[in-house]
Amino acid sequence: MATSPTTQLEILRELRQSKGDFVSGAELADRLGISRMGVWKHIQKLKAMGYEISSHPKGGYRLEEVPDSLAHGEIVPNLQTKWLGIPYHYLQTVSSTNDHALLLAAQNAPHGTVVVAETQTRGRGRLRREWISTPNRGIHVSILFRSPLPVRVAPQSTQIGALALVKVLRETFGLSSQIKWPNDVLVNHKKVAGILTEMQSDQDFSRFIVMGIGINVNHTAEDLAGPFRYPATSIAIETGLPVKRQHLLIQYLRQFEQDYELFLHQGLSALIPQLEEFSEILGKTVSVTYGDREITGRAEGFTPEGALLLLQSNGQQETIWVGDVARVESAP
């Protein structure tokens, strides 16, 4: 007998192909090479996962409604990528999808491995901040890369990850979304997503990189009522409509793969015009903390490698490779 997730995927495929007609248990059993009791057991498991499947003593089974789940069955058959999401790891609960991806990396998981969880018990952000992972409301995903990159430019994955989401939010949801360099995605000046990139390196080159993104999707204002450093929002709050997370995740992975390939072939410089166009901070006075320093200046632009150029009031220009923008003031 085939293993459960594969068999469940096959049952879902058969039910979808029947286009609203009932499929008999005997037919399913025959096609999948399992007993009718086996079919029934898998149907119960699918129901427990949130699939609405009606059964008829003579007719068999019919798929009525799919859950807003990020499980294999809803994502893998619909992926529009060449290498991203192969393999795709889905977990109900995990400490942190980044931790899990780092663990898989140490076990030789391939480039493009994706880890998704419905909730995280120790989701984390930059500077060891906590990332609130409300079950079944958000998207928590980590992507493993094995392209060896000079350590200094490896954090560029963060900016590619942010840009991909901004494009999807603009194109699919009509939201005027912006990037707060380097790792926050905003909508109407409120944070809708954050990115945490971690890596392991051999001297000057990365051995592997894990980029994790947390997206506030169907969160309500109450879910986001915590004392955040930056005001938070969700896509549902901004659009006024619930969002199918599976649709968003599929679009995001497709866009990310496209941008990442461009980056690999042409470098980040090919994406700088878009990073500048969608920047929240360019032309504004910002305070940036890095290490134990905080400097304030006008955000002038980005270098071809994605570092921030900051013009201080004494006329001195500073190039900042990694930092945290604490305050953004509008241009006078």
b/e sequence 24-46, b meaning 16+ C-beta within 10 Å: ebebbbeebebeeebbeebbeeb
Classified as helix, coil or strand, 259 is helix
Residue 41 CB, nearest approach to ligand BTN (Å):
33
Judged by CB, which is closer to ligand BTN: 7, or 97?
97
Asked if residue 134 binds ligand BTN (CB under 6 A), the reply is: no
Q: Does 306 bind ligand BTN (CB under 6 A)?
A: no
**CA 173 to the chain's CA centroid:** 16
Q: How far apart (Å, rounded) are the C-alpha atoms in residues 221 and 331?
A: 29
Q: Is 177 in the site for ligand BTN (CB under 6 A)?
A: no
Q: Is 197 in the site for ligand BTN (CB under 6 A)?
A: no
In terms of DSSP bridges, do strands 52-56 and 293-302 run parallel, antiparallel, or are they unpaired?
A: unpaired
- C-alpha span between 12 and 66 (Å, rounded): 10
Torsion of CA 106, 109, 114, 119, to 10 degrees: -40
CA-to-CA separations, 92 to 49, 151, 250, in angstroms, rounded: 10, 33, 18
Q: In whole angstroms, how close is the CB of 247 to ligand BTN at the nearest point? A: 19
Furthest-apart CA atoms within the chain: distance in Å: 82
Q: Given candidates 124, 167, 180, 219, which one binds ligand BTN under the rule CB under 6 A?
A: 124
Residue with smaller CB distance to ligand BTN, 129 or 207: 129
Q: In whole angstroms, how close is the CB of 88 to ligand BTN at the nearest point?
A: 15
What is the rounded distance in angstroms from the CA atom of residue 107 to the CA atom of residue 84?
18
Contact status: 137 vs ligand BTN (CB under 6 A): no
Closest separation in Å from C-beta 100 to ligand BTN: 9
If the CB atoms of residues 25 and 194 are measured against ligand BTN, the closer one turns out to be 194
Which one, 73 or 123, has the nearer CB to ligand BTN?
A: 123
The correct pick among 194, 297, 306, 323 for binding ligand BTN (CB under 6 A) is 194
Q: Is 123 in the site for ligand BTN (CB under 6 A)?
A: yes
CB atoms near residue 52 (< 10 Å): 12
Contacting range for ligand BTN; rule: CB under 6 A; set: 21-29, 78-86, 125-133, 231-239: 125-133
Closer residue to ligand BTN, CB minimum distance, 53 or 91? 91
Binding-site size for ligand BTN (CB under 6 A) equals 19
Please identify which residue in 32, 164, 213, 307 interacts with ligand BTN, judged by CB under 6 A: 213
Judged by CB under 6 A, which stretch of 62-70, 94-102, 147-155, 307-315 contacts ligand BTN? 94-102
- Our CB check for ligand BTN shows the closer of 61 and 256 to be 256
CA–CA separation, 319 and 299 (whole Å): 10
Buried b (16+ CB within 10 A) or exposed e, 85-94: beebbbbeeb
Candidates 5, 67, 87, 125; binder of ligand BTN (CB under 6 A) is: 125
E-only strand ranges, 159-243: 177-180, 184-187, 190-202, 205-215
Which residues lie near ligand BTN (CB under 6 A)?
A: 96-98, 120, 123-126, 129, 131, 140, 142, 183, 194-196, 212-214
